[in-house]
Amino acid sequence: MAYGDSDLDPADRPELTLLLTAQTRHILDGIAELARGSGLNVERRGSLLLVTLTDVSEFVALVDRELSSGETDRTRAVVVEPGIDASEALAAALRAVPMSTMAARFRSAELIDLRADDSFYSRYQPIIDLRTLEVRGYEALIRADQGDGELGAGQLIEAARAGDWLHELDQIGRESGIRGAGSWLDPGELLFLNVLPSSLDLPKDVLRETLKAAERSGIPVTNLVFELVETDRIDDIAHTVEVLKRYQDLGAGIAVDDVASGYATLSIVAELRPDVVKLDGTLTEKLPDTTTEAVIRAVVTLAHDIDAHVIAEWVQTPEQVAVLTELGVDWCQGRFFGSPWIRT
């Protein structure tokens, strides 16, 4: 079923019905008011709201903007044919998805066009040696230009997850990071590239594809650090370790993100023995704090015992820099040393 074709003249678009239900009546009242304000036909059937329209994506985007995130999560929607009877409407309501999910799916559909015209790129945040204050490397952070503004990693991941192309975005992120850094990355500087654990479970060897992209850009494998993110989503630690070890043996570095955010990351550090561990940024935010300092000191000891470097993220103040240096943290990144920027 089409949700409205923007290439058609509005008068030629077929009418559709958006069926909505919500946990509280006032949410539906608010959506009904938005629909009437847009000149749309609204019908109430008990706990159901039916809005007749020709462009579902436009109205869903309006609702997503006007409602709070909590309200969109408590609202469910589904597109149905006009004129359905009461029993069909109730059956359709059972298939409804959260409004927040529907909005993310539409954003994902819009981003599909971006994949064809190279609208993805990376910003680079410097990683600083706390002892020498020299740049040791950069983390590549994916962005996209949607024409009316920049989309950040969080927005892109949300849209890609909703549209079921998260693994493709994961690969795009690494390749755009490599493509953007090829002309300026110095031989001794490291390039940190994020990797989703679930991507390592795909039949296609995504890291081999990443190495091919690096070779095309003239970046040696020894400059690359594969940074494992979302470690709470790892289903098979042994398999993840096996794949990453393969590339560690080729000369790439391995990093684990958000260490000390939970037991899972500590167990992964113990099994993977990475080259770099990155402290959960919320720890840096709490400094100075005696308990937090004890946690960081313990992670630093563990990391140094396996010859790994420790990076602190979200560093924003000179006080944090002083404490992290005293605790033995090796490198850091954050707005105190530089926001993510575009390198040319």
Query: Domain 118-332 adopts which CATH fold?
Result: TIM Barrel (3.20.20)
pLDDT in tens, the chain (344 residues): 334 444 434 444 578 999 999 999 999 999 999 999 999 999 999 999 999 999 998 999 899 889 887 888 899 999 998 889 999 999 999 999 899 888 877 877 766 665 655 688 999 999 999 999 999 999 999 998 866 678 788 878 877 887 778 898 999 999 999 999 999 999 999 999 999 999 999 888 999 999 999 999 999 999 999 999 987 788 888 999 999 999 999 999 999 999 987 766 888 898 999 999 999 999 999 999 999 999 999 999 999 999 999 999 999 999 999 999 999 999 999 999 988 888 75
pTM of the model: 0.73
Instruction: Compute the chain's Rg from CA coordinates.
Output: 24
Pick the closest to residue 88 from 165, 160, 193, 17 (CA basis).
Answer: 17
Contact 140, 121 (CB under 8 A): no
Could you tell me which CATH number the domain at 10-108 has? 3.30.70
Among 252, 203, 204, which Cα is nearest to 228's? Answer: 252
- Pairing between β-strand 75-80 and β-strand 150-151 as defined by DSSP bridges: unpaired
Intervals of CATH 3.20.20.450 along the chain: 118-332
Residues of the chain with CATH 3.30.70: 10-108
